[in-house]
Chains A and B, each alone.
With several copies, the nearest count.
Chain A
Amino acid sequence: MSDMNYKAAIEAILFATGSAIEGSKLMVALGTEEEPVPKKVFNEAIKALMAEYESEDRGIRLIELDGKYQLCTKNDYYEVLGKIVNMPKKHTLTDVLLETLSIVAYKQPVTRAEIEKIRGVSCSHAVNRLVEYNLICEVGRLDAPGHPILFGTTDDFLRSFGISSMDELPDISPDKIEDFRRQAEEEAGIEVTT
């Protein structure tokens, strides 16, 4: 790729990494291990790129630090950026989250696989979100192949529902489950043998 556009390639690399990259590494990436892009050519490209970024039309700049190069947001736009980052997000518990939460509450400690079995669909996203919301957390590992994580509800969970311990959860005993089964059978007018 001798006719590579170096400026564009540098931009792509610095954008993708987001971090500071040594000039020497960039020269190898643009050329080959044996034959990096000549320093002179590289310098020309990077200087031109830097100059372009300084234009008023650009919201990012290319900075040099100790022979390393990095792209970053221009200070002028911190305020606008702040508006987006701190824009009050609407955190709501969707049906998926509530369903997952109810399973953890009543079946804890419970693994992801068990939750998936009940819901019939994978639940990684919902579990992660609930952990992030601090409603559920890791409570241990199951003593089984792969040592899957066991999840349980948090103190925040109890506090949010205004209860002091899990004993106060409305009862779902094995008898209750038997009831559901009977009920479901009656509804369907069939007998389910197990």
Chain B
Amino acid sequence: MEKLDIKLETFEGPLDLLLHLIEKNKFNIFDIPIVEITKQYLDYLDAMEEEDMDVMSEFLVMAATLISIKSKMLLPKEETEEEEEEDPRAELVKSLLEYKMYKYASSELKDMSIDAANAYFKQESIPKEVKEVKEDIDPAELIGDMTMQQLNEIFKTLLRREIDRVDPVRSKFGTITREEIRLEDKIIEIRNEIKGLKSINFKTLLGAKRGRLNLIVSFLAILELMKSGALVIRQDEMFGDILIDSLE
């Protein structure tokens, strides 16, 4: 494969990168070949230069989503006669279409702004005689019936909100302790666990991790280690075991 020399910043986000891949390959957005696109997506991440963690994590979340969809599609379909099973890709397609729609709108807006940007608005030039009757703003009237107690309540609400806001993404997980499991720590942990070992079963490795967050972070850590070349992953046959070889 030709060497990919990409900076992720050229893509506005994981959805942007996915749309780019879909268009480049002339894939049908309603029938995305998930195996192929996941491979290409991971290749991109692989070729990516070191980025800051914030940018990386957003792209990695999508990698995890793709792999999860891929695995769902590989699983034999359960024979449910009543309901038709939903395509595991449906949610992703919806997001992609919505994103594509706004991307289209933003390009339209861009064109419009170029045309509209050349008008000049005038400063106020009210004749002195008219302006002299200047209205006084009475702070007391403005405050009205508001009491210090009420202002105090407002301030307290704000402080509470600030605490709530700590992290809009992570706080959504609800039961997760902030910074409880750090990716950096997990990378070190897994690296030590597998050092010098070959053919470690992916399932066994992840199976030892308790808790959903632990699983997710462990998974991201494996992706990270793969990227940095500390390990390789192989799967010899369809549905076969995924095996990890440490390269250290």
A and B touch in the complex (CB under 8 A): yes
When distances are taken between beta carbons in the complex, the residues of chain A under 8 Å from B30 are 181, 184, 192, 194
When distances are taken between beta carbons in the complex, the residues of chain A under 8 Å from B106 are 95, 98-99, 101-102
When distances are taken between beta carbons in the complex, the residues of chain A under 8 Å from B130 are 16, 78, 81-82, 85
Whether the Cβ atoms of B122 and A18 lie closer than 8 Å is yes
When distances are taken between beta carbons in the complex, the residues of chain B under 8 Å from A85 are 120, 126, 130-131, 133
When distances are taken between beta carbons in the complex, the residues of chain A under 8 Å from B107 are 98
Binds A, one of B150-158, B202-210, B211-219, B231-239: B150-158
Complex interface bits, A35-75 against B, C-beta within 8 A gives 1, otherwise 0: 00000000000000000000000000101000000111111
**Is B1 among interface residues, defined by CB-CB distance under 8 A?**
no
**Minimum Cβ distance to chain A for residue B53 (Å):** 12
Interface size on A, residues (CB 8 A): 79
**Minimum Cβ distance to chain B for residue A59 (Å):** 10
Interface residues of A (CB under 8 A from B): 12, 15-19, 61, 63, 70-76, 78, 81-82, 85-93, 95-96, 98-99, 101-103, 105-106, 112-113, 116-122, 132-135, 145-147, 154, 156-157, 159-163, 168-170, 172, 176-177, 180-181, 183-185, 187-194
Interface residues of B (CB under 8 A from A): 12-16, 26-31, 54, 58, 62, 95, 97-110, 112-113, 115-127, 129-131, 133, 135, 137, 139-140, 142-143, 146-149, 151-152, 154-166, 168-169, 171, 174-180
**18 A-B pairs whose Cβ atoms sit less than 8 Å apart in the complex:** A19-B121, A72-B122, A72-B125, A75-B115, A85-B131, A99-B103, A106-B152, A116-B169, A117-B162, A133-B139, A133-B142, A159-B139, A169-B105, A177-B159, A181-B163, A187-B28, A188-B26, A188-B174
